[in-house]
Amino acid sequence: MEERGLADVAAQLYALPFDEFVAERTVAAKDAAATKDRFFAADVRSLPKPSVAAWAVNMLTARRPEVVRELAALGQSMRAAQSALDAPELRRLGQERRQLLVSAVKAAQAVAEDLGRKISGTIAAEVEETLRAATADEGAAAAVQSGRLLRGLSADGVDVVDLSGAVALPGLVVPPRGPSLRPPAERTGTSGGAGTPATKDADQPRLRAVRPDTRKSTPSAVERARALLKDAEEASSAAATEAREHQEELASATMQASELTDTVRQLREQLARCEQELTAARKRRELATARAQQSARAAARAVRTADLARERVLRLGNTPDS
């Protein structure tokens, strides 16, 4: 019961925003010390703070659990196809996994940003690797779905993911129940007709995937290598196509920039000529204004002179001859 109570406390702590974990753990430990024995409080205080990548995965599990469940289900399908040596299905599922991982990482980034923490490219890559591991191993899927992940996971091209120190309270994590890959005798719970359970420990809480003791139908190393090669070739082809598209976009942008540079240069030259012409036009306007004013004054003087001459003529015409 005490372990279950500790799991409840852990569930609350590992669902918190990243920067609130330590302070809330301290509060929880004090509350535990006040209501339970000091050993329980010490257990609460010893709950490790997760890495940023593990925290992002925990937040994805807490707030977008359907994304994690879809990846876990895909992992079960991939293991079933691998067991059946179904190479075409493995390739199809591999393509589906790539698409799901891209959308899952974006979802994790969005959830983290909603909680006030931006995920860098390096952390995003670690999140993707962790989610990829969850599709490769049932134990890893259980660790991710527990919401108590402490560090990132890596499949490293092997079937079983190293989960040591990867999750808080590992004894309470149970691998998800999916299609059994064990031989028929083991699925029926008998061995050699004795009628005793062949895999009694399969239902016990653990963090490792349920693996058959014998793998008669397991694909050979060559088959797995071919499937991995196919995935790598497809990824390489997609990357090459994307690179060509970016090169074409770069060439187009470079050409457009060159054309705009020429246009800007021509416009600047035209502007310089227009400014010179404007300066000359302003000078001509000033000169014309001065000449017009001078002419107006001269005309006014001429009018006054004519008026005076007219008045003189009138006076002389009205004066009797002496």
* Residues 105-123: tens digit of each pLDDT: 999 999 999 999 999 999 9
Give pLDDT, residue 236.
73
Instruction: For residue 23, give Cα distances in angstroms to 11, 30, 79, 299, 306.
Output: 15, 11, 41, 97, 106
For the chain, give every domain's residue range.
50-181+202-210
Q: Give the 3-state secondary structure of residue 149.
A: strand
| Structure-token pair, residue 300 | 């006014």
Give pLDDT, residue 235.
64
State pTM to two decimals: 0.55
How confident is the model over 248-281, as pLDDT tens digits? 768 777 877 887 888 898 899 889 999 999 999 9
Give pLDDT, residue 111.
96
| Structure-token pair, residue 322 | 């002496």
* CB-count burial class (<10 Å; 0-12, 13-18, 19+) for 71: buried
Distance CA 204, CA 320 (A): 152
Distance CA 162, CA 158 (A): 10
Intervals of the chain under pLDDT 50: 1, 177-218
Give pLDDT, residue 184.
32
* CB-count burial class (<10 Å; 0-12, 13-18, 19+) for 2: exposed
Distance CA 96, CA 73 (A): 12
| Structure-token pair, residue 164 | 């040591």
Give pLDDT, residue 224.
58
Give pLDDT, residue 257.
85
Residue 223: name the closest of 87, 110, 91 by CA: 87
Distance CA 131, CA 64 (A): 13
User: Phi/psi zone of residue 297: left (φ > 0), alpha (ψ -120 to 50 degrees), beta?
Assistant: alpha
Distance CA 55, CA 150 (A): 7
Residues facing 167 on adjacent strands: 149
* Ordered alpha helix ranges (H), 154-220: 184-187
Distance CA 144, CA 92 (A): 24
Q: How many CB atoms lie within 10 A of CB 171?
A: 12
